[in-house]
Amino acid sequence: MSYHSPWRWTDGQLQGFKDGLAVPADVQVFQMDAKKLSTQKQKEAQGREARALIDQWKPDLLYTTDDEAQEFVATHYVNTSLPVVFSGVNKAPKTYGFDDSPNVAGVLEHEHSVESVKLLQALVPGARRFVAVFDDAPLWPSVQARMKERIGSLPDVEFLAWDTLTTFDDYKRKVQEYQTRADAIALIGIFNFKDGQGRNVPYQDVLKWTVENSRLPDLGFWVDRVHHGTLAAVTVSEREQGLAAGRIARGILVEGRKPASFKMEPTRKGAPVISLARARRLGLKVKSGQLLSAEVIPKFEWDK
């Protein structure tokens, strides 16, 4: 895992993988925790530790989730005899040398950006001027490029800014500026904001501050964000990511297929999610049809 457990995104991928594999398996999990251990030096150290476990244990297959695990672990096994299956990858496979490797297969993670914008506009008719926020993690440029390409097809949407921020204070300042400039915010990269001591501010704290200090509706692409206060998202399904990867692993281990015989492509299924708590905080009236067609999060995570 690039990240940590418990977390819906990583745990959901792993459970989906086991369900897709559908045979008894002895699984060891290494958590890089790269959202907290986010410096290059820390991630390199985590990668070395993960590779030491792999080399000692000699598994039949390596399953790597999200981009840090590809960069610091999976790339070291390209063109080897160890089958590698990935999921949750935002960057192009060629970034890691996967596209020409006979032993690597997997599932890409492409965001439902157009669908998420349309969902927010359904909740907030007239929302047209958006801003997008990113931290400085290396996975976001590819996400931003896909967003610009796809959202360009929406004639009634304008993105006024694509801001990359590094500190929590910068984020707070920008959010206050957005209040009079924009109709909505796309909160995409919010894990690497630093506090005054240079430590990463937990994304849950970022989103709670946003709920308490911003009057602008916001969107994301992942379900955990909505649990922590983001108004709306058409989410990338962590289960679908893991399930697709598990089925590839089954094809390799049980059916004897070669990894290179699988096409590297994203999962297609997205799920609309609405924070009813955030809608109420913003004074929005959500129609019954919208509630019936989406997963509804009734409370903020910190209220439970």
Its pTM stands at 0.84
Peptide bond into 6 cis (omega under 30): yes
Per-residue pLDDT at 91: 93
Say if residue 304's pLDDT is above 80: no
pLDDT tens-place string over residues 117-151: 999 999 999 999 999 999 999 989 999 999 999 99
Residues 6 or more apart whose CB falls under 8 angstroms from that of 284 comprise 123, 124, 217, 231
Q: For domain 8-110+238-266, give the fold.
A: Rossmann fold (3.40.50)
Task: Read off the pLDDT band of 70 (50, 70, 90).
Answer: very high
Q: What is the pLDDT of residue 35?
A: 87
Rounded Cα gap, residues 95 and 213, in angstroms: 38
User: How confident is the model at residue 230, as a pLDDT?
Assistant: 98
The reply to whether 113-235+270-303 shares the fold of 8-110+238-266 is: yes
Give per-residue pLDDT as tens, 198-251.
999 999 999 999 999 999 999 999 999 999 999 999 999 999 999 999 999 999
16-66 per-position pLDDT tens digit = 999 999 999 999 999 999 988 989 999 999 999 999 999 999 999 999 999
The model's pLDDT over 168-188, given as tens digits with 9 standing for 90+, comes to 999 999 999 999 999 999 999
Query: Within 13 A of 244's CA, how many CA atoms are on the CB side?
Result: 23
CATH code linked to domain 113-235+270-303? 3.40.50.2300
- In SS3 terms, the chain reads as CCCCCCCHHHHHHHHHHHHHHCCCCCCCCCCCCCCCCCCHHHHHHHHHHHHHHHHHHCCCCEEEECHHHHHHCHHHHCCCCCCEEEEEECCCHHHHCCCCCCCEEEEECCCCHHHHHHHHHHHCCCCCEEEEEECCCCCHHHHHHHHHHHHCCCCCCEEEEEEECCEHHHHHHHHHHHHHHCCEEEECCCCCCECCCCCECCHHHHHHHHHHHCCCCEEECCHHHHHCCCCEEEEECHHHHHHHHHHHHHHHHCCCCCHHHCCCEECCCEEEEEEHHHHHHCCCCCCHHHHHCCEEECCCHHHC
Return the domain boundaries, the chain.
8-110+238-266, 113-235+270-303
d(CA 147, CA 150) in angstroms, rounded, equals: 5
